[in-house]
Amino acid sequence: MENYLTIKTEIKEHVATLWLNRPGVHNALNDIMIREISSFFMQIEEDNELRIVVIRGSGKSFCSGADLLWMKKSFTLSPSENLKESLELSEMFKMIFNSSKIVIAVVHGNVYGGGNGLVAVCDLAYCQANSRFSLSETRIGMAASSITPYLLLKVSAIDLKELIFTARNFSGEEAFNYQLVNQSFASSIEMELHLEGVITQIVSNGRLAIMESKKLINQLTEKLLTGNKEQIPELLARIRVSPEAQEGFSAFLEKRKPKW
């Protein structure tokens, strides 16, 4: 494996662990991290010995969403550069979702904005009950564009609308009730024991059978994804350079209320 700047990786027998590794900013996504995650999933795709990828966050949180300093710089990009970055984000989510490996999110701490997208594209997700989730994009004048199709595969439309429109925080237990995660645990010890059991069960089953089952389930549910291939990155590219979003980024970084 290559040396990465924003992620750490570890492979042990049939399981790879990918650590989001920007703990100082609660593992916020930026252009480098997006490319490195994509690169990792591309590299492991042909490794038939590897069957499971576990995604975790270093430090206090799983992922706090997009790095707002990076997003704010979008105002200085050309339209084609802005669209390119938006496409890279969409492609990263798609690559994880379509990976031939079983991808499991193990969640703690804050899960904001695009961090929910990382949870949603995983095949399985487990969290601590005291985790704090939020579809926080609208707080800063953004739309949850790239992640919405994947969220709709797990969360009902009526619940998703409320969570996006209010941008309110919700707990790990609520995330389980919304079906964003498979299970919520009172402690990290319980979660790790459950994860260990799930991994043992998966690797004891037929590799090809599991891979084909995942592919079939994804194919039967991907109408929401294929019908919006171009529209979603274009929406993200457009809205992140809007005056409202730029004011939202500035207000958040300056710790003040946005002027809208």
Percent of the chain with pLDDT over 70: 97
- pLDDT classification of 157: cutoffs 50, 70, 90: very high
Residue 73 sits in a domain whose CATH number is: 3.90.226.10
Residue 80 lies in a domain: yes
pLDDT tens-digit readout, 15-24: 999 999 999 9
Residue 60 lies in a domain: yes
DSSP class per residue in 57-91: ESTT-SB--B-HHHHHGGGGS-HHHHHHHHHHHHH
Residue 149 lies in a domain: yes
- pLDDT classification of 75: cutoffs 50, 70, 90: confident
pLDDT tens-digit readout, 31-43: 999 999 999 999 9
End-to-end CA distance of the chain: 47
Residue 204 lies in a domain: no
Residue 253 lies in a domain: no
225, pLDDT greater than 70: no
230, pLDDT greater than 80: no
- Mean pLDDT, residues 231-260 taken together: 84
Calpha distance 125→135 (Å, rounded): 17
pTM of the model: 0.92
Number of domains in the chain: 1
Residue 79 lies in a domain: yes
* Domain hosting residue 182, numbered range: 7-188
Question: Which stretches of 113-197 are assigned E, i.e. beta strand?
Answer: 124-128, 132-134, 169-171, 183-185
13, pLDDT greater than 90: yes
The confidence score (pLDDT) of residue 24 equals 97
The confidence score (pLDDT) of residue 30 equals 96
The confidence score (pLDDT) of residue 176 equals 98
The confidence score (pLDDT) of residue 226 equals 65
Residue 219 lies in a domain: no
How far apart, in Å, are the Cα atoms of 210 and each of 50, 101, 123, 180, 217? 13, 9, 12, 21, 11
Highest mean pLDDT out of 78-92, 105-119, 133-147: 105-119
pLDDT averaged over the chain? 92
Residue 205 lies in a domain: no
The confidence score (pLDDT) of residue 1 equals 61
